[in-house]
Amino acid sequence: MIIPKIKNNPRWGFVSGRISVLEAKLLPREFFLNLIDQEHLEDIVPQLQDTFLRDHISPGTVWADFSDLCDRFFHEFALSIREESPSTLPADFFLLAGDYLNLKSALTGSSEFPFYSGLLSHEKLLAVSHGDYADLPPALRESETGFAGEIGETDPAILDIILDGAYLRNLLAMARELGSELITAYIHDRVLSYLVIVFWRALWHQQPLRLYQQYLLPLGDLSHNVTDLSGMPSVESWPPLIGGILGDMLSESLELPEDEQISGFELRAANHLTRIARDGKLQTAGPERVFAFLAGLHVEVQNLKLVTNGRLNRIDKTLLRQRLRECYV
């Protein structure tokens, strides 16, 4: 996909200036390869002092909570970027997933919301958990199946699909609202690759694909992809349905050993999205610059979790190298 030239927007000058400084601190692939090669935990800690996590790492750090430490850092960082931006949308894209995970808990009557939230406050989630649905995201109300009745009685597997559909609609609606061609291209391929993975995992677990057609829609221009995939229970037939770069990546992934195919496609899709985001660096000031940096930082955090937790759990070094995501820099 060719991304058109990005125009600069002076209103974004302040936050883009901050991003310009921060981008220089993002880590290259060589850093993670070096981290993988460290033999002992005590050798990993000094390396982490050279990352954005340095203020979150202390001698008393509980390594079992490292993933949560990383997630908390990214959440707090994205919120700080959002506060300095003329529009919250570039940061909201990266905060939305936690909201929908918490929303699932709320809709099942729980008052425990374990994920970091961005757009749905604790108060709104509590109201939902008590049966007050006034503040449900509009994307959830747009489900073709409707959202009436006792939601607490909904099959948890069906609720997962309904919330997946709402989350994807929410992403697409935010991209339309922002009106950036680069971000729209990124979100389009993010949603399409997400759909492929959801359907593929459903096949793997022998779940009926028609359920996904029933509960995921509508998804705008991507609705036909849901219909096509749900009617084609052979993954080998999917690449031409998906088309483009993602279709090619799907074909490549099908050549891997069967138990590595889904994860192989997931990694290829993530790297593809990073390449789209990199074009945001061409903008001096604007939402694309902010979005692109957060996309790069998110990849960095995922790599830090992969490598550090992998070394703690003695996962094979070769496997860790293979699973590393392509870095933003």
| Residue 154 is assigned to a structural domain of this protein | no
Low-confidence ranges of the chain (pLDDT < 70): 1-5, 59-62, 146-153
Say if 295 falls within a structural domain: yes
Indicate whether 223 belongs to any domain: yes
Cα separation values, 227 from 8, 209, 216, Å: 39, 10, 10
CA distance 183 to 97: 17
* Burial annotation 230-247 (CB, 10 A radius, 16+ → b, else e): beeeebeebbebbeebbb
According to the model, what pLDDT value does residue 151 have?
62
Length of the chain: 329
pLDDT at site 62: 60
The number of folded domains in the chain is: 1
Q: Of the candidates 88, 211, 117, which has an alpha carbon nearest to the alpha carbon of residue 155?
A: 211
Confirm whether 115 is domain-assigned.
no
Structure token digits, residue 3: 């991304």
Domain-located, residue 174: yes
Q: Which of 154, 140, 66 shows the shortest CA–CA distance to 99?
A: 140
Whether 266 maps to a domain, the answer reads: yes
Strand, coil or helix: 58: coil
Instruction: Answer whether 44's CB lies under 8 Å from 310's CB.
Output: no
pLDDT at 61: 64
Tokens linked to 312:
């703690």
Is 184 within the bounds of a domain? yes
Per-residue pLDDT tens over the stretch 86-131: 999 999 999 999 999 999 999 998 999 999 989 999 999 999 999 8
Q: Is the CB of residue 232 less than 8 Å from the CB of residue 198?
A: no
**Domain assignment of residue 290, yes or no:** yes
pLDDT tens-digit map of 213-264: 989 999 999 999 999 999 998 999 999 999 999 999 999 999 999 999 999 9
* Start-to-end CA span in the chain (Å): 20
Contact 96, 147 (CB under 8 A): no
Instruction: Spell out the alpha helix ranges (H) of 156-243.
Output: 156-178, 181-204, 210-216, 223-230, 238-242
Domain that holds residue 246: 29-37+71-91+170-323
* Residue-level pLDDT at 217: 94
